Structure 1
């Protein structure tokens, strides 16, 4: 996984915000329905399972008691509207990336596109209308031992700006619908509150099943919902091994081996362009959403390249370019997905005009010292390093704060790491001349990213 990459202006990983560090993840006010408690093994053989993350909201319908199916937005909780998730496409992709890191151990696939047919789980990620007033992160309407009842709907509130905080709450609510209960380990994803280690996961270890008391403290649970599911891997039905139970129900995961796609749509192959033009590329992946690392390289009388910059997939990206000397050029666009599958597209084009004095026509050679033709300022809205989302311009477009650069190798400002919380980062990838090349003004300040409309 490309865990060091960040969507411009957005933090991909880290723990829940301190402000929300002690609230219950699952609503303590709701008594879930229990299915399959008398089963002694999964009713169906382990196989691929789909989790649909619904960020777009929608009208939930009460389709009858016990009917909690995602196909018709059926809910056993209420007739009402779930408001859309407030995060932009980058933040949505960050939430799904965290989920995939945990669910990838099992044969479970996460998507933000509703499956056209078949059985699946749906997680509604947003806010209820009216909102429930806070105090918890999500609701699982049922506990389904061995996932015996198939696809169900669960809910995660838009309760924090932290992508990981949202993702971990989603994982717990969905896990309840697979028969998992709360356990007394802060390192396990089934710990009942958000007061946890930065990156809890499904652990291959038996832990005491617990509930929260009136002081929101975990105490041993005597009323076990899925005793037969738990006792297969632990000494007693009041202990749970989250990892082994999910492995039994779904089977082991496998890596994504399908490469993403990338196409340079402008300039066209063999085109002649003015010194100032728009470089346009489209990037997509078989998994949606996906965080793609996009890098660019220009070879010709002037030469430059970028460090990888992360963008949510699918995206149409536009990079305004200026300052190339006249002559013949090659642009190479490289895209790498989260599983390190790579795609490359190459286009040859010509910049109009007379060759600059002293230029031999060979890449990386010049008779003039490097000088700057424009200031080194950010032309787009600079991402807020405090972790606040970057301003958007409507239609899902993003403004990545990237500047033209001069002199030596590009200085990437992608400095956040996955273990230090959701501090955000000013995700920049300066397109700088390679060694010996004339200084350029290569304006990538408005790398406009637009998410494609789904069909």
Structure 2
């Protein structure tokens, strides 16, 4: 490889990733000088833009929420195997709830099905917003042996499910069927409203799940079990907080004292110590993600003008998360950012032979990589792929030939949708099945969430 054939660092990285969007320049210290990519080409910059479906969303202001008291119905006994790791499944895709089978998360069963007319609509926020909520949940559980996922886990050994989406016009932000003292039942189902803010959303997810693990409300505004979401980023506090019965913070002796009293006096609860006792410490992430680049086709040729899709899927045991994406050629970094997957636009790169090494690194520091080789030919050149009749068949690689109608942008969106797996067809399906809002369930001005029996 000729050392001179090194990609120029993108001159601008579009925050929106859409045609016509203004690009924000990278810091000058992070930009190497543009270099020639072929002997006949003059120095040119590479227009490489991250697509919006892959990018981390901007932070949103948390919305206030509150929770009222709930009636405890779980048996006051210790779990059979304390210290066993557990899985928390945040279901953004909605569900048709089943009646008469308890609160079995594996089969979408809920004793609260009638409260939601038997149906929970999907979360309509972006994919990146979903990942931000998952990451916020994981942050609060980073020391606890609870793995959080957005894909339905295997039935064995079971999991807690929080349905996060359209719960109808309610006066609460989330609800759990009961307090399961000591987490005796491993497959509970609970609910959270579709808040866009990742901190608020994560707090509601964690509080409702924690109720099904045996935790009660406490009077500390900095704990995830406080009846109101007041602190900007509450967490599971490693201290004994007074147990309260309702949103008026009426103090009570508590219900699940067989577990509470292992760490505190009667009537107090240490949320962090109880979760650590129930699920054990977090296990380190030692599994590296696997990256597979599918576009452009390896060894393909493209004639200017052209817009290519640099696309690759990531398979990981802790999917989803935002991976550190790094693109290099000849050891020189051309692009570095965070994304759910590799999904970038490559617009009119200078003629030359490209050999890109793409690496994704997860939050545990584990890295996976793949590489792709392709050639860009000057405008007017004969395309060897088309003359031989070979086609890579990849819809992400589209030679526009100077036409503005193109099609690569639409294909890029299609690819981003397809990468979400079963979520996007469910969005369409549930959109057609959305129920009318019962007039009796008027939304209050201050969203509250309460747990009913």
Pick the TM interval, shorter chain: 0.5 to 0.7
For residues 272-421 of structure 1, the aligned pairs below 5 Å read 272-275=301-304, 276-284=306-314, 285-298=316-329, 305-311=334-340, 315=341, 317-324=343-350, 326-353=351-378, 397=413
Which position in structure 2 is the counterpart of 1:83?
Answer: 121
Pick from 239, 244, 252: which aligns with 2:281? 252
Match of 2:85 in 1: 48
Q: Compared with structure 1, are the counterparts of its residues 59 and 27 closer, same or farther at alpha carbon in structure 2 (3 Å cutoff)?
A: farther
Q: Distance in 2 between matches of 1:57 and 1:149?
A: 22
Name the CA distance, whole Å, in 2 between partners of 1:152 and 1:397.
Answer: 36
CA contact (8 A) 1:47 1:250 kept: yes
- Measure the CA separation in 1 of the matches of 2:360 and 2:134: 19
Q: Which runs of 5+ in 1 are unaligned?
A: 1-5, 355-378, 380-392, 399-446
| RMSD of equivalent CA atoms | 3.0
The answer on whether the counterparts of 1:267 and 1:279 sit within 8 Å (CA) in structure 2 is yes
Aligned length: 338
For residue 15 of structure 1, report the CA deviation from its aligned partner. Answer: 5.8
Q: C-alpha separation between the residues in 2 aligned to 1:397 and 1:217?
A: 48
Aligned to 1:98: 136
Shift in Å, 1:95: 0.8
Q: Specify the alignment match of 1:62 in structure 2.
A: 99
Once the two structures are TM-superposed, the CA of residue 453 in structure 1 deviates from its matched residue by 1.8
- CA apart distance, 1:451: 2.4
- Report the secondary structure of 1:71's partner residue: helix
Find the counterpart in structure 1 of residue 17 from structure 2.
Answer: none
Q: In structure 2, what is the Cα distance between the partners aligned to 1:106 and 1:142?
A: 22
1:229 aligns with 2:259: yes
Please list the CA deviations of residues 126-170 of structure 1 after superposition, one character each: whole Å capped at 9, or x if unmatched. Answer: 122xx2433x21001110111012210010011x32122111100
- Residue 357 of structure 1: aligned partner: none
The structure richer in helix per residue is 2
Question: Which residue is 2:170 aligned to?
Answer: 133
Check the 8 A contact 1:140/1:154 in 2, yes or no.
yes
Q: Structure 1, residues 193-216: CA drift from partner, whole Å, max 9, x if none?
A: 0112x221111111111133xxx4
- C-alpha separation between the residues in 2 aligned to 1:395 and 1:56? 24
Q: In the alignment, what sits opposite 1:157? A: 193
**TM-score with structure 1 setting the length:** 0.68
The 3 A distance-change label for structure 1 pair 394 and 177 is farther
Distance in 2 (alpha carbons) for counterparts of 1:53 and 1:341 = 24
Q: Which sections of structure 2, spanning at least 5 residues, go unmatched?
A: 1-51, 380-403, 424-453
Could you give the per-residue CA deviations for residues 264-310 of structure 1, whole angstroms, max 9, x where no partner exists?
3233333332242414221312223222232323559xx87123132
Over residues 32-84 of structure 1, what are the superposed CA-to-partner deviations in whole Å (9 max), with x where a residue is unaligned?
342121x2x432242121111111111112215xx211122111113311111
| Partners of 1:154 and 1:174 within 8 A in 2 | yes
Kept in 1, the 8 Å contact 2:310–2:343? The answer is: yes
2-structure distance, mates of 1:336, 1:266: 20
Instruction: Find the counterpart in structure 2 of residue 194 from structure 1.
Output: 229
